């Protein structure tokens, strides 16, 4: 019951995304299962710091990555902070549990020329709806940098053709406007035309299935994976296109604050990860171009 109340709090007051709520629920269910198995304990209020530490050790022995374990520790810290505010515990037992050191992972992105060449292979106007939709999905993810969940949340009314922008609902229901290029507008108009002529029935959701129903996460993942299979990207997910959007914008001179707003990041720290890849690029250009860079 306590966990249910916490999850409801995340939904109604914190307005967390469904993905975040699912992660919290899974982490807490797994933790409770651990307590039941190893300590014969069913009440999370009675948990101690040492119990949480033993769970961390258990997770590492089960080959969970440090970043995954840190997320689970963060879940417990949030959960017990909630219980503390509710007066159900006297202290947060997870507060003194340190996070694990994790290696810095640079964002995976696709080379700009390769991505542009792949995108230039547009489906002809006479081809079927699914090909047009698939191409639009890739174009939107790369041209706007939006998340998969944000793409799925778009409706036809999200498009503002008059002002050439797209209204995107991000994390915690925060709305932002993303500019649309002329080419992107034309692609959207073509898609909407095919959506109305090729499908007998369809929802107001912008991205739909072949039967006109709202698209689902796995469909977007499959579309992206099929597109990226011909690139050099190691990972093949919608987030690779988001990373590519930010990296290419930064390498072409866009400032971090602008990219932060376009991506919908809450803080600039989340955006600064993209500077690593552009610094590497700058070093390469410097060593190739500066007359004294190659002097020994």
| Long-range contacts formed by 127-135: CB under 8 A, 24+ apart | 128/198, 129/194, 129/195, 129/198, 129/199, 129/210, 130/210, 132/190, 132/191, 132/194, 133/191, 133/195, 133/207, 133/208, 134/223, 134/226, 134/227, 135/187
Q: Which one from 155, 236, 239, 276 is the annotated catalytic residue?
A: 239
**The one catalytic residue among 135, 148, 195, 242:** 242
Q: Is 239 tagged catalytic?
A: yes
Which is nearest to 246 in space by CA: 228, 264, 223? 264
CB 80 within 8 A of CB 94: yes
Determine which one of 171, 176, 214, 276 is catalytic: 171
Does residue 201 have an active-site annotation? no
Q: Out of 80, 142, 191, 274, which one is annotated catalytic?
A: 274
242 is catalytic: yes
DSSP characters over 201-231: S--SBSSB-TTSSBP-HHHHHHHHHHHHTTS
Contact status, residue 248 vs residue 165, Cβ threshold 8 Å: no
Q: Is 135 a residue of the active site?
A: no
Which one of 147, 148, 248, 260 is the catalytic residue?
147
| 8 A C-beta contact, residue 260 and residue 187 | no
Distance of CA 144 to the CA centre of its chain: 13
Q: Is 265 a catalytic residue?
A: yes
Q: Which of the residues are catalytic?
A: 147, 171, 239, 242, 265, 274
């Amino acid at each position: 019951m306590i966990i249910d109340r916490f999850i409801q709090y995340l939904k109604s007051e914190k307005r967390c995304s469904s993905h975040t709520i699912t992660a919290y629920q899974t982490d807490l269910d797994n933790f409770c299962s651990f307590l039941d198995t190893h300590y014969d304990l069913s009440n999370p209020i009675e948990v101690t710091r040492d119990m949480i530490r033993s769970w961390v050790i258990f997770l590492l022995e089960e080959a969970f990555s440090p970043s995954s374990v840190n997320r689970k520790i963060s879940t417990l810290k949030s959960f017990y902070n909630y219980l503390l505010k509710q007066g159900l515990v006297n202290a947060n037992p997870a507060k003194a549990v340190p996070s694990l050191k994790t290696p810095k992972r640079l964002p995976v992105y696709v080379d700009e020329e390769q991505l542009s060449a792949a995108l230039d292979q547009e489906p002809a106007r006479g081809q079927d709806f699914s090909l047009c939709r698939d191409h639009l999905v890739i174009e939107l993810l790369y041209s706007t940098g939006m998340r998969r969940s944000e793409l799925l949340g778009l409706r036809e009314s999200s498009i503002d053709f008059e002002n050439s922008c797209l209204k995107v609902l991000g994390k915690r229901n925060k709305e932002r406007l993303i500019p649309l290029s002329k080419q992107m507008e034309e692609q959207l108009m073509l898609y909407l035309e095919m959506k109305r002529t090729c499908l007998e029935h369809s929802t107001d959701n912008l991205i739909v299935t072949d039967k006109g129903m709202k698209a689902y996460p796995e469909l977007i993942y499959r579309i992206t994976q099929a597109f990226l299979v011909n690139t050099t990207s190691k990972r093949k997910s919608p987030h690779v296109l988001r990373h590519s959007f930010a990296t290419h914008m930064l390498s072409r001179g866009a400032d971090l604050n602008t990219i932060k707003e376009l991506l919908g990041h809450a803080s600039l720290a989340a955006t600064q990860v993209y500077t690593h890849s552009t610094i590497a690029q700058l070093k390469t250009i410097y060593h190739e171009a500066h007359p004294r860079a190659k002097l020994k």
